[in-house]
């Protein structure tokens, strides 16, 4: 038996998950998303990542970015290590890919701000 906090919706239900012969038994959920979240959390937990990357623009030293989808939770440290090596050198709009298809997962890391498009380039 394992107790987890569901992050599938704003309810934040405290779930109890037990492994059964047929899969998992989930209790404590107030919506169907809790069941799906618990099953994913027990088999292959995934998360979105929000962070920043360096830029080559002195007035804006970092650009906020996020994954365009969820990645396996265990890949987050490796992705952070990779993103620490990235420097954005062009004015990217929000939604533009900073890194494409990370780890072959089909997920891009995208800019979440238009700040680089709004600064005056020298």
Instruction: Return the pLDDT at 122.
Output: 44
Secondary-structure class of domain 50-118 per CATH: alpha beta
Instruction: Return the pLDDT at 119.
Output: 79
Instruction: Return the pLDDT at 120.
Output: 60
Task: Single out the residue of 90, 99, 94 nearest to residue 111, CA to CA.
Answer: 94
Q: Where is 5: in which H helix or E strand? A: strand 2-5
Contacts of 26 (CB under 8 A, 6+ apart): 15, 16, 17, 34, 35, 38, 39
pTM of the model: 0.84
Domain definitions of the chain by residue range:
2-43, 50-118
* Whole-number Å distance between alpha carbons of 122 and 120: 6
Alpha-carbon dihedral 114, 59, 78, 39, rounded to 10 degrees: -40
- 3 state SS of 36: helix
As given in the structure block, the two tokens for residue 85 are 């090596």
The whole-number mean pLDDT for each consecutive block of 10 residues of the chain, a chain of 122 residues, reads: 93 95 94 94 95 96 97 97 97 97 97 89 47
Instruction: Return the pLDDT at 118.
Output: 87
């Amino acid at each position: 038996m394992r107790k987890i906090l569901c992050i599938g919706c704003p309810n934040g239900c405290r779930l109890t998950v037990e492994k059964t012969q047929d899969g998992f038994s989930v209790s404590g959920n107030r919506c169907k998303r809790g069941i799906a979240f618990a099953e994913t959390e027990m088999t292959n937990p995934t998360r979105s990542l929000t962070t920043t990357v360096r830029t080559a623009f002195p007035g804006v030293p970092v650009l906020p970015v996020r994954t365009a989808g969820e990645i396996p939770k265990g890949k987050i440290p490796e992705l952070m290590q990779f993103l620490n090596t990235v420097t954005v050198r062009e004015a990217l709009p929000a939604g533009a890919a900073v890194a494409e298809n990370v780890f072959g997962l089909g997920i891009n890391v995208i800019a979440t701000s238009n700040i680089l498009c709004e600064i005056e380039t020298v």
